[in-house]
Structure 1
């Protein structure tokens, strides 16, 4: 049987070597399905355990730059070739480069700091729960323990991922505490060379060792929630520089008790912002939420009654005070005020949390980034453009069109993550095992451009939030994969079950009704002066 021109150029088949980047749910599912299809798999995971975004770590990531708007930079400083070949003990992972000097307020050389710098902890906070019921978030690799409730704490989600990794053999082929710093094609162009650095225990303490390895195929499953997006709001950088512990990103949030009796401003209107507002209600003295009024804002009526929604921030101002003092450990508010875009003024704020989301970033693929090219000018080579709000040039949000030996699992937003990523993983495994046929490069390009025309560029390009889109996406994967499976006598890939679709439809109906009611309620937003203090010049 003749293969497509795409497959003739890119050889796929069982027995080839595959690198999987990340051991969250998308990486674990991908690796497990690749193993089942007879491929030789190695997983790279920079932390010490599987679990990805659901792994709870009391430690928090260091501060990103303020503002943070350079997608190729990532949430860690990528090492240079040869830098850590024989590092014992390891040097600082963050130096005094221009890219980082504004964000590094204190650097110590403890082992804990080294661990954080090497593998920045994720955004999981102590009270985190799933907002999609567990019965819609399951992999075909293994079900939830009997009696698992629909909504559970992060502990159960983390344990579920770790059980999948253990039971499918993924743990055994994972290089933990190993960070990928560079992925690129060899000069001959046939294989992918991966340069990784591992944090190991040596005789005289921890050491960082650089290694090089080659693979036929690569799957990036590093997730969405790594590089915080910090907006360029006038005066925010000054507040952060002057009072660094009083301005943080939601990735660094862990417990509401830290903000007991404080006045807290949360910037953002997504799920993390809503969760933090709910946790602070009744703990903080006053909680404010500032929003831009964007398409993805959750409605104000979902907030607790004690939280006040405010317009977008225009400027952070510090008072002209000759004794700006370090107040991090005191009960005093920041000596300044915040001007909103409607002219209101907010003061007596103790802490600012920027729940402003994350930047799409794959720092180990710098050659596919262009930090100065806007989305509208991105070419067929680009993966991430200046806005950092989408992944370009992916066929079905999975295969890099110019070279589909590079694939991505976990790109879509607003989905039943575990389930959807498992379907993507099955498709990747079948293609890489030579059991599903990719279209030609030209056909993939035409399909991608058609989708751009329909959905536009930006974050919404990957959204499957609209009713029916997620089911249709999965059915499209299944139909495509099974067309070739039938030809070669391969067992078919199964779609969503009817039970799953009924549960999904019920959830969508409830969510749609909730949002319709919330947005139709016309909740009046209180003014800052009405609830929060005096005006200032």
Structure 2
């Protein structure tokens, strides 16, 4: 009699993750934690186009026409790492409170290694095409491999395609090298003596700081700002025109002559080059209600998405496709974890997504924008993935509840996260001052060895520091 070997069962569901940056790693980790994966019912693979994990935190020299990674030399996080970190994996003890990019990259590499994710990641492999065909996602990679998957997780990141303003004269400045997007910026040297920086986001603020430290004449262009004067630093409103002679004219009539360089910290385009129009229409969605039956990409947002994750449309099951971490003004790593938990619940039980209720939630959000005076569809969809100061924490709790099937035995957002998040700017200012004085390393030495609460206590201590206390010894600061 032939002996039949006791082979493991064939996976009933196959999952593909596009990207192994912070969001893709979170999705991969949560999938491998699932009971379905553990018993062999699911399989998963992540395709990463670059030679290492980490996404934008993995540095790269700027290429001529492509922003592979937008990291500049002075970049540090704009959130304290206890708030920024995955809830399942803290940064190492003694890590500077606002770490530099290389520390974040090592953290992500450590996360992938610690949870044994690397064997499931295929590096140097770009997803070239993904189409819904005969009830599966047909995925073609840059290695010309083709495969079918039940679920597709989109975690390709959104900081590689620069958003360029449509300002008269700007094209000439870009082609001549007099203007460039901040994605290609690395350091303040070699840019001339008079520099205009456009944009008031984190990158714009950092570039202003860089240029002022380098002794440049800096003009900061911020939409809606009133002009201010100064010998070495001036603030201006929106740019109206770039002139061939090196002058810049602003909407209020102010003129800056002999500008050497303009840096555009103007954000990025949301793009999914592997989808064609049959999956995702590249245009602004129609007004809501009703909920459209097709999926749209306005370049600022994807709509309509149930729970900011699952496409609520008619072409394929909402649970078959997930868009990770499109949100901004958030702490992305813990949000990615919570989204991945909700994703796994929907993969395991597609009926857990109730289309009628999901549609009501989407229309309610739309109406909330209208009630705040944001009335045009273009403006609403531009702001669709933007969360208010504390909205992300309610959102995470809702995802935790959904992932746990409504059970009270679920993960919850810690109260200290809600309390400390609004102080992130003050914390960063105080940390920068402390680090500049040479006392930062001592302040964090050993913090975290006894758990996360030590970091919480340290952040509250830092907030309590007065200007006078900053001048005392580090030991006194830590009392």
TM-score norm. by structure 2 comes to 0.77
* Structure-2 change in CA distance of 1:507 and 1:285 (3 Å): closer
Counterpart-to-counterpart distance in 2, 1:305 and 1:450: 49
SS in 1 for 2:353: coil
Counterpart-to-counterpart distance in 2, 1:196 and 1:163: 27
SS in 1 for 2:144: strand
Counterpart-to-counterpart distance in 2, 1:458 and 1:355: 21
Q: Contact 1:256–1:279 at 8 Å: present in 2 too?
A: yes
Unaligned ranges ≥5, structure 1: 1-12, 64-74, 76-119, 198-208, 319-334, 487-491, 512-537
Question: Pick from 359, 362, 376: which aligns with 1:448?
Answer: 362
**Which position in structure 2 is the counterpart of 1:266?**
197
TM-superposed deviation, 1:372:
4.7
1:374-453 residue pairs with structure 2 within 5 A? 376=287, 379-385=292-298, 388-402=299-313, 403-404=317-318, 405-434=320-349, 438-453=352-367
Q: Contact 1:61–1:121 at 8 Å: present in 2 too?
A: yes
Q: Contact 1:227–1:360 at 8 Å: present in 2 too?
A: yes
CA RMSD of aligned residues (A): 2.7
SS in 1 for 2:102: helix
Question: Pick from 178, 189, 203: which aligns with 2:125?
Answer: 178
TM-superposed deviation, 1:382:
2.2
**Which position in structure 1 is the counterpart of 2:156?**
222
**Which position in structure 1 is the counterpart of 2:253?**
343
**Which position in structure 2 is the counterpart of 1:195?**
140
**Which position in structure 2 is the counterpart of 1:113?**
none
- After superposition, the C-alpha distances for 1:344-396 in whole angstroms (9 at most, x for unaligned) are 221111111111111111121222443454554893312303xx211111111
Question: Pick from 218, 223, 246: which aligns with 1:292?
Answer: 223
Question: Pick from 386, 398, 403: which aligns with 1:481?
Answer: 403
TM-superposed deviation, 1:448:
1.2
TM-superposed deviation, 1:141:
3.3
Q: Contact 2:83–2:331 at 8 Å: present in 1 too?
A: yes
Q: Contact 1:19–1:43 at 8 Å: present in 2 too?
A: yes
TM-score norm. by structure 1 comes to 0.69
* Structure-2 change in CA distance of 1:315 and 1:460 (3 Å): same
1:499-518 residue pairs with structure 2 within 5 A? 499-504=416-421, 506-507=423-424
> 1:277 and 2:277 equivalent?
no
SS in 1 for 2:404: helix
TM-superposed deviation, 1:446:
2.2
**Which position in structure 2 is the counterpart of 1:231?**
165
TM-superposed deviation, 1:453:
1.4
SS in 1 for 2:303: coil
* Structure-2 change in CA distance of 1:307 and 1:428 (3 Å): farther
TM-superposed deviation, 1:23:
0.9
Figure out how many residues of one structure are paired with residues of the other and give that number. Answer: 397
Q: Contact 1:31–1:43 at 8 Å: present in 2 too?
A: yes
TM-superposed deviation, 1:441:
2.2
Question: Pick from 480, 494, 502: which aligns with 2:411?
Answer: 494
**Which position in structure 1 is the counterpart of 2:385?**
462
- After superposition, the C-alpha distances for 1:467-493 in whole angstroms (9 at most, x for unaligned) are x3122111111222223557xxxxx43
TM-superposed deviation, 1:15:
4.6
1:3-42 residue pairs with structure 2 within 5 A? 15-37=12-34, 38=37, 39-42=42-45
SS in 1 for 2:329: coil
**Which position in structure 1 is the counterpart of 2:432?**
none
Counterpart-to-counterpart distance in 1, 2:250 and 2:286: 29
Counterpart-to-counterpart distance in 1, 2:24 and 2:296: 19
TM-superposed deviation, 1:281:
0.8
* Structure-2 change in CA distance of 1:238 and 1:213 (3 Å): same
**Which position in structure 2 is the counterpart of 1:528?**
none
Counterpart-to-counterpart distance in 1, 2:185 and 2:422: 33
**Which position in structure 2 is the counterpart of 1:518?**
none
Unaligned ranges ≥5, structure 2: 1-9, 371-379, 429-479
- Which is bigger in relative contact order (C-alpha 8 A, separation at least 6)? 1
* Structure-2 change in CA distance of 1:500 and 1:313 (3 Å): closer
Counterpart-to-counterpart distance in 1, 2:216 and 2:111: 42
Counterpart-to-counterpart distance in 2, 1:472 and 1:429: 20
Q: Contact 1:61–1:122 at 8 Å: present in 2 too?
A: no
Q: Contact 1:18–1:218 at 8 Å: present in 2 too?
A: yes
**Which position in structure 2 is the counterpart of 1:363?**
273
Counterpart-to-counterpart distance in 1, 2:63 and 2:305: 30
Counterpart-to-counterpart distance in 2, 1:455 and 1:54: 33
- After superposition, the C-alpha distances for 1:135-178 in whole angstroms (9 at most, x for unaligned) are 11121332211112211100111111111111212211111111
**Which position in structure 1 is the counterpart of 2:180?**
248
Counterpart-to-counterpart distance in 1, 2:56 and 2:239: 29
Counterpart-to-counterpart distance in 2, 1:509 and 1:278: 16
